[in-house]
Amino acid sequence: MQIAHPVRDANAPAGTDGLGNLPEWDLSDLYPSPDGPEFAADMERLEALCTSFAADYAGRLDTLDAAGLLRAVERDEELSIIAGRLMSYAGLRYYQNTMDSDRAKFMADAQDRITTMTAQLVFWSLELNRIEDGKLEAMFAENAALARYRPIFERLRAMKPHQLSNELEQFLHDQSAVGAAAWNRLFDETIAGLEFTIDGEPRPLEATLDLLSEQDRSKRESAAREIARVFGENVRTFARVHNTLAKEKEIEDRWRKMPSPQTGRHLANHVEPEVVEALRNAVVAAYPKLSHRYYALKAKWLGLDRLQVWDRNAPLPMESDRKVAWDEAKATVLDAYAGFDPKMAEIAAPFFEKGWIDAGVKPGKAPGAFAHPTVSTVHPYVMLNYLGKPRDVMTLAHELGHGVHQVLAADQGEHLSSTPLTLAETASVFGEMLTFRALLEKAETKQERRVMLAGKVEDMINTVVRQIAFYDFECKLHDARREGELTPDDINALWMSVQAESLGPVFDFMEGYEVFWAYIPHFVHSPFYVYAYAFGDGLVNALYAVYEEGDADFQAKYFEMLKAGGSKHHKALLAPFGLDASDPAFWDKGLSMISGMIDELEAMED
């Protein structure tokens, strides 16, 4: 079991620059301490339960009646909760300081031990898939409590054509700790150990990336060139990681008879390949009216004929560099949530009050941001690297949206609360939109409104256009790897093949930008994850359009959608709103919101 939304390293003291008292995690709701009796007792308990589960059910699932199968499912859910709790604690401690060798060892040892003990459970999904369809349907008809788990059986059975023999599945399970998981850890620790020098001062990656949104263009250029230098010096390591993981995936996909490298992700996301293809095609077709048009405007605002890569996230000349203190960020997001529905703010408030957020930038801490759901019997934890920029406020709104979603879905239980990635971004992006709209309403001048609209358009381009370009890069990389080993130059060329197409003709690309693929964590941790961001943004834009149209029952239907977790397909979840993601026009509806904001920005030029 791995931590959701894996990210990278950042350093710098917390609570500086007038940001206020930034919160830290209190992980005691999971376990009081790593060496306490509670963690050890749960590890022992898990081992005993795995052994008894295998003894009771291996080789005889097809002999169970409906009540017996229900009991087996409930016991499997109990195992998942214990294992998830153990690994959540070990993983979250590790991400607080990835450079701490004791924390790294603690997580690795826990993962190894759990991998070993859960090897006894490999039979479970394999034997479930061998139960005849008619027999399973009859058991569903007989037992409503069992029928509630139908979505779990459907997802398992979607993998039925791709499952291997018990022995091969056992082998893949046993070697996982020294396969992808080991390469993931090498990537994380390599990233965490990199040092970037700006003006003679050493910086970690997160703080260096932050300079790419500085007002001073020379600082942005220095940061971009230093990132290129450091990653250029380490590109062979990152190329090895990508080559190995892509080849490992190709081998497993071939054995499983997966028709494409993306198939496994689509199955996990419970989304049809044609829906993803419709999304991808709609976004690529919209590049000219979205990113190309916006960045041409941005060049004009910056007084430049051409943009360099270090100008992509540059603030506008009229934009304030005021830092947003933590208490103000908290109030901004909670007020926006309450403006939608007080219940949403009530669910979010404990994150601030009970140690469920870790916000400061600290030595060795993983960079970026994520919301980890832990298990359905505890609560989520949110990680941020808060530097006080307006985008950091939006990140808080985003991750808190995940947290609200995870809290609401927890009532479904461990197996049904987990939301496919394509739907997991719904509440997070919606939370951002609520916060943005609340702030936009308060804009007092045309200039202030322009800055806010431009910032939102950039965020949406980064979420939609950029992530689809990333998806295309991954598709090309995995296709190319099937033909043989890829040199760093090969990977660089694939990266550059999607950059000009997605960003537009106004951009020049400095020497060294070709290695910027090296630090994108999703390529390593979760292949083909990235399209879920574009899916979620398009879905939320369409949802928000329905909200703005004045659906009187919108809030109630929205909360019901979040409460459903992973218990319903995207078609069933969107039907109450009159939306259908399998309709190509659905994506155009979402993209039109972005182009409409660019229309308004262009009109301000008159």
Predicted pLDDT at 207? 87
Any long-range contacts for 595-603 (C-beta under 8 Å, 24+ apart)?
Answer: 595/286, 595/289, 595/290, 595/293, 597/453, 597/456, 597/457, 597/460, 598/289, 598/290, 598/293, 598/294, 598/297, 598/457, 600/453, 601/294, 601/297, 601/450, 601/453, 601/454, 601/457, 602/293, 602/297
Mean per-residue pLDDT over the chain, rounded: 91
DSSP letters spanning 280-292: HHHHHHHGGGTHH
Q: Is 507 helix (H, G, I), strand (E, B) or coil?
A: strand
Q: Give the residue-averaged pLDDT of 48-61.
A: 96
- Phi and psi at residue 307, to the nearest 5°: -100, 145
Q: Considering Cα of 427, then 428, then 431, then 436, what sign does the dihedral take?
A: negative
pLDDT in tens, 235-271: 999 999 999 999 999 999 999 999 999 999 999 888 8
What is the three-class DSSP state of 554? Answer: helix
Q: Which residues contact 542 (CB under 8 A, 6 or more apart)?
A: 577, 579, 586, 589, 590
Q: 509: how many CB neighbours lie within 10 A of its CB?
A: 15
Band (pLDDT 50/70/90 cuts) for residue 606 is: low
Q: What is the dihedral of CA 94, 98, 103, 106, to 10 degrees?
A: 70
Amino acid at the residue 504: G
pLDDT at 321 exceeding the cut of 80: no
Residue 9 has pLDDT above 70, yes or no: no
**527: pLDDT strictly greater than 50:** yes
Between 261 and 443, the more confident residue is 261
Pick the CATH number of 31-181 from 1.20.140.70, 3.30.565.10, 3.40.190.290, 3.30.43.10: 1.20.140.70
201-203 and 196-198 strand pairing: antiparallel
Looking at residue 282, its pLDDT comes to 93
Encoded tokens for 217 = 């263009």
Question: What is the C-alpha separation between 595 and 297, in angstroms, rounded?
Answer: 13
Contact by Cβ (8 Å): 155, 271: no
pLDDT exceeds 90 at position 136? yes
In this structure, are strands 370-372 and 381-383 parallel, antiparallel, or unpaired? antiparallel
Beta strands in 133-246 (DSSP E): 196-198, 201-203
> Over 50: is that where the pLDDT of 149 sits?
yes
**Fold of the domain spanning 10-15+195-242+269-606:** Neurolysin; domain 3 (1.10.1370)
**Is the pLDDT at 11 greater than 50, yes or no?**
no
Model confidence at 13: pLDDT above 80? no
pTM above 0.75, yes or no: yes
| pLDDT value, residue 292 | 97
- Domain boundaries defined on the chain: 10-15+195-242+269-606, 31-181
Residue 99's contacts (CB-CB under 8 Å, 6 or more residues apart) are: 9, 189, 192, 193, 363, 364
Nearest to 173 by CA among 220, 132, 122: 122
Q: Do domains 10-15+195-242+269-606 and 31-181 have the same CATH topology?
A: no
Which whole number is the average pLDDT over 213-223? Answer: 94
How confident is residue 175, by pLDDT bands cut at 50, 70 and 90? confident
Q: Is the pLDDT of residue 569 over 70?
A: yes
Which residues lie closer than 8 Å to 315 by C-beta, 6 or more apart?
A: 213, 214, 215, 321
Model confidence over 59-114: pLDDT tens digits?
999 999 999 999 999 999 999 999 999 999 999 999 999 889 999 999 999 999 99
CB 493 within 8 A of CB 514: yes
pLDDT digits (tens, 9 = 90+) for 15-49: 446 899 999 999 999 999 999 999 999 999 999 99
Q: What is the reported pLDDT for 318? A: 80
d(CA 414, CA 130) in angstroms, rounded, equals 24
CA 144 from chain center: how many Å?
34
**With bands split at pLDDT 50, 70 and 90, how would you rate the model's confidence at 389?**
confident
